[in-house]
Amino acid sequence: MNNSTPTGVYANGNDNKKFKGDRPPCSPSRVLHLRKIPSDVTEAEVISLGLPFGKVTNLLMLKGKSQAFLEMASEEAAVTMVNYYTPVTPHLRSQPVFIQYSNHRELKTDNLPNQARAQAALQAVSAVPSGSLALPGAPTNEGTILSGQSPVLRIIIENLFYPVTLEVLHQIFSKFGTVLKIITFTKNNQFQALLQYADPVNAHYAKMALDGQNIYNACCTLRIDFSKLTSLNVKYNNDKSRDFTRLDLPTGDGQPSLEPPMAAAFGAPGIISSPYAGAAGFAPAIGFHQATGLSVPAVPGALGPLTITSSAVTGRMAIPGAGALPGNSVLLVTNLNPDLITPHGLFILFGVYGDVHRVKIMFNKKENALVQMADASQAQLAMNHLSGQRLYGKVLRATLSKHQAVQLPREGQEDQGLTKDFSNSPLHRFKKPGSKNFQNIFPPSATLHLSNIPPSVTVDDLKNLFTEAGCSVKAFKFFQKDRKMALIQLGSVEEAIQALIELHNHDLGENHHLRVSFSKSTI
């Protein structure tokens, strides 16, 4: 739907002339057209949508049409705002609001009736210049001017008994204003993040409210400081870094998410290691009691209390109302080797990080597949650990799918056995709540942990088994205390991934099926 041109509003340089295609409807302008605005919304609420991105210089409300025009001080601010709100639809009074560039270059509202309230609202906002708000709870004698403060927070997460994803951080910190960019990394065996707000004021509120709080009950404690960096340079949008204003960035091929000089600024390793490399990335072995994690004090711009609860049954997180992104348990897996991949192979591999219910290899494009996990946290874990790994000579990519479930083929529908339901498989590793497997989830590694080995099977038997599967065995040792378990080191991580797919549940005789996992140890 294109803009309706309000009478008496002039587009600069085209006074009184209605646009009939002089410019394409979507070329950037500092004037934004908002649609579907609830009738009871105030001027201040509409202005608040634009504030995180820069100064709002004018506003025109068309209440009868549920529309408004918002003028930003610069085109750059308007572009950032549209880019931010394109994937995350803004809401006013729980109603979705739609934003697009207007055909107007500026708003001229001097001669229009009913503009007094809009002007008063704009004046009230500009009386408090951005970046120098007097904050509740801040002692007045410290001079509450935030002018020199960075909009970038450095976040360290202590007691990481449960993986914290970039999405979870975005969800928590968005309560305090517009989050523009996030970079996550591991340093000194601690999971850390840099997070950039649109405004230092938002950063100040977030630090005040969240520093020292636990994300989940009794674990994942936030330690928050202001960063020395004043802005972040994100090169890739993936599970380790994201620029919410630039949806066009590549995912990168396991490359560092940071420019080298930035990495030096806070001593991160050149290649950002997996966020779980230094901390056990597993769900708690004991289910937490139903708990409302953080309860955030009311601050201007906060969107109510943050409650991330963990379900008591399995100790996995359930984020209420988190929308499609963190709530989806279906993964889209791309860049597979169509000649070698099977539904069973994907079931075994993704089953290392959660219980796989269904797998569908695409009938027309066999290098793509959908993998449905038992829940969203397992999907996230599998995505974090497997995306970017090599399998059958190709770098596998995993992202959250837009599908909520994998559909089984209808009776008589041609499928070539590419869709499989594994929900009742005996091979699920995480069916039992509190299972030891929750504590033994590690990134893919060249060393595999073997268990359930019968007494009659020798070192040579096992070495031959892996050699016949096409692996080069570099080292092997049985556990001293328990000969039912062993470690085997192979030539590469890719070999180990392929060996796990091929040999997990391999029948060793005497009613023993070999169990294979990735190990955190080396021989």
Q: Is the pTM of this model over 0.95?
A: no
Cα distance between residue 1 and residue 489, in whole Å: 61
CB 462 within 8 A of CB 486: yes
CB 382 within 8 A of CB 371: yes
**346 and 427 co-located in one domain:** yes
pLDDT reading at 398 higher than 80: yes
Lowest mean pLDDT among 110-124, 232-246, 407-421: 110-124
DSSP string, 430-479: S-STT-GGGG------SEEEEE---TT--HHHHHHHHHHTTPPEEEEEE-
CATH value at residue 468: 3.30.70.330
SS3 176: helix
**193 and 236 co-located in one domain:** yes
Residue written as token pair 């410290």: 142
Of 502 and 279, more confident: 502
**431 and 483 co-located in one domain:** no
DSSP string, 7-35: TT---TTSTTPPPSSSS-TTS--SEEEEE
- Residue 5 included in any domain: no
**173 and 234 co-located in one domain:** yes
Cα distance between residue 279 and residue 523, in whole Å: 20
pLDDT band at 148, cuts 50/70/90? low
Of 189 and 127, more confident: 189
HEC profile for 248-276?
CCCCCCCCCCCCHHHHHHCCCCCCCCCCC
Q: What is the model's pLDDT at position 268?
A: 27
Q: What is the pLDDT of residues 441-464, one digit of tens each?
A: 888 999 999 999 999 999 999 999
pLDDT band at 301, cuts 50/70/90? very low
What is the mean predicted confidence (pLDDT) over 137-160?
64
- Residue 311 included in any domain: no
pLDDT reading at 314 higher than 50: no
CB 232 within 8 A of CB 198: no
Q: What is the pLDDT of residues 213-249, one digit of tens each?
A: 888 776 788 999 999 998 999 999 998 999 988 878 8
Instruction: Report the number of distinct structural domains present in the chain.
Output: 4
Query: What b/e readout covers 126-135, taking b as 16+ CB neighbours within 10 angstroms?
Result: eeeebeebee
pLDDT reading at 23 higher than 90: no
Burial class of residue 113, CB neighbours in 10 A (0-12, 13-18, 19+): exposed
- Residue 13 included in any domain: no
Phi-psi region of 133 (alpha: psi -120 to 50; beta: other; left: phi over 0): beta
Q: What is the model's pLDDT at position 131?
A: 37
Q: What is the model's pLDDT at position 171?
A: 85
Domain that holds residue 375: 330-406+416-437
**101 and 185 co-located in one domain:** no
CB 415 within 8 A of CB 281: no
**495 and 402 co-located in one domain:** no
Cα distance between residue 264 and residue 319, in whole Å: 35
Q: What is the model's pLDDT at position 347?
A: 98
The residue type at 517: S
Neighbours of 464 (CB within 10 A): 12
What is the mean predicted confidence (pLDDT) over 107-123?
79
- Residue 114 included in any domain: no
Q: pLDDT above 70 covers what percent of the chain?
A: 75
pLDDT band at 55, cuts 50/70/90? confident
Beta-bridge partners for 390 = 395
Quote the tokens at residue 60. 């025109």
pLDDT reading at 161 higher than 70: yes
H or E stretch including 207? Answer: helix 200-210
- Residue 116 included in any domain: no
Lowest mean pLDDT among 249-258, 316-325, 357-366: 316-325
Q: What is the pLDDT of residues 245-284, one digit of tens each?
A: 887 888 875 444 343 333 333 332 222 222 222 222 222 2
Residue written as token pair 């120098």: 132
pLDDT band at 81, cuts 50/70/90? confident
